[in-house]
Amino acid sequence: MEQAFPHPSRGRSPGAIQPSLTMPEPSSKTSQVIAFPEPAVCVVDAYLRGLPSEATRQVYAQCIRSFGTFLGDRNFKSASRRDVEAYRAHLEALGRAPATISKHLSALSGLYAFLVDEGEVLKNPVASARRPRLSDTSTRKGITPAETQALLAVCNPTTTIGLRDRALVLTLAVQGWRVSEALGLQVGGLDDEQGHRVATISGKGGKVATVPLAATVWGAMQGWLEAAGISEGAVFVPVLKGGRVQPGCAISAQSAWRRVRFLARRAGISRDLHPHLFRHGAVTEALSRGVPLHQVQDFARHADPRTTRRYDSHRMSLANPTPHVLAAGLTVEGEE
Note whether 296 and 286 are within 8 A (CB).
yes
Are residues 301 and 233 both part of a single domain? yes
In tens, the pLDDT along 115-173 reads 999 999 999 999 999 988 876 666 678 899 999 999 999 999 999 999 999 999 999 99
What is the model's pLDDT at position 319? Answer: 67
Are residues 198 and 151 both part of a single domain? yes
Length of the chain in terms of residues written: 336
What is the model's pLDDT at position 3? Answer: 47
What is the model's pLDDT at position 241? Answer: 87
What is the model's pLDDT at position 56? Answer: 85
- What is the domain range of residue 7? 1-20+31-134
Are residues 283 and 183 both part of a single domain? yes
Are residues 202 and 277 both part of a single domain? yes
In tens, the pLDDT along 306-325 reads 888 888 877 666 667 777 67
Are residues 194 and 293 both part of a single domain? yes
CATH number at residue 283: 1.10.443.10
Taking all residues of the chain, what is their mean pLDDT, rounded to a whole number? 84
Name the pLDDT band for 41 (thresholds 50, 70, 90).
low
Are residues 89 and 55 both part of a single domain? yes
Q: What percent of the chain has pLDDT over 90?
A: 59
Phi, psi of 309 (to 5 degrees): -65, -35
- On whether residue 315 sits in a domain, the answer given is no
Final residue of a structural domain among 88, 104, 134: 134
Q: Give the count of domains, the chain.
A: 2
- Residue 22 vs residue 241, higher pLDDT: 241
- On whether residue 172 sits in a domain, the answer given is yes
Are residues 223 and 305 both part of a single domain? yes
Q: What is the largest CA-CA distance in the chain?
A: 93
Average pLDDT over residues 83-106: 93
Are residues 153 and 293 both part of a single domain? yes
Average pLDDT over residues 17-46: 48
| Whole-angstrom distance, CA of residue 244 vs CA of residue 238 | 9
Are residues 223 and 260 both part of a single domain? yes
Torsion angle defined by CA atoms of residues 302, 307, 311 and 312, in that order, rounded to the nearest 10 degrees: 110
CATH number at residue 89: 1.10.150.130
Are residues 170 and 265 both part of a single domain? yes
Average pLDDT over residues 78-101: 93
Long-range contacts of 16-21, Cβ-Cβ distance < 8 Å, separation of 24 or more = 16/49, 17/41, 17/49
CA torsion sign for 64, 67, 72, 76 is negative
What is the model's pLDDT at position 140? Answer: 74
What is the model's pLDDT at position 188? Answer: 95
Name the pLDDT band for 194 (thresholds 50, 70, 90).
confident
CA torsion sign for 192, 196, 201, 207 is negative
Are residues 232 and 278 both part of a single domain? yes
Specify the range with the lowest mean pLDDT, choosing from 33-47, 148-162, 163-177, 195-209.
33-47
- On whether residue 139 sits in a domain, the answer given is no
Residue-by-residue DSSP string for 309-324? HHT-TTTT-TT--HHH
Are residues 12 and 105 both part of a single domain? yes
- On whether residue 334 sits in a domain, the answer given is no
Q: Verify cis geometry, omega within 30 degrees of 0, for the bond prior to 292.
A: no
Q: Coil, strand, or helix at residue 142?
A: coil
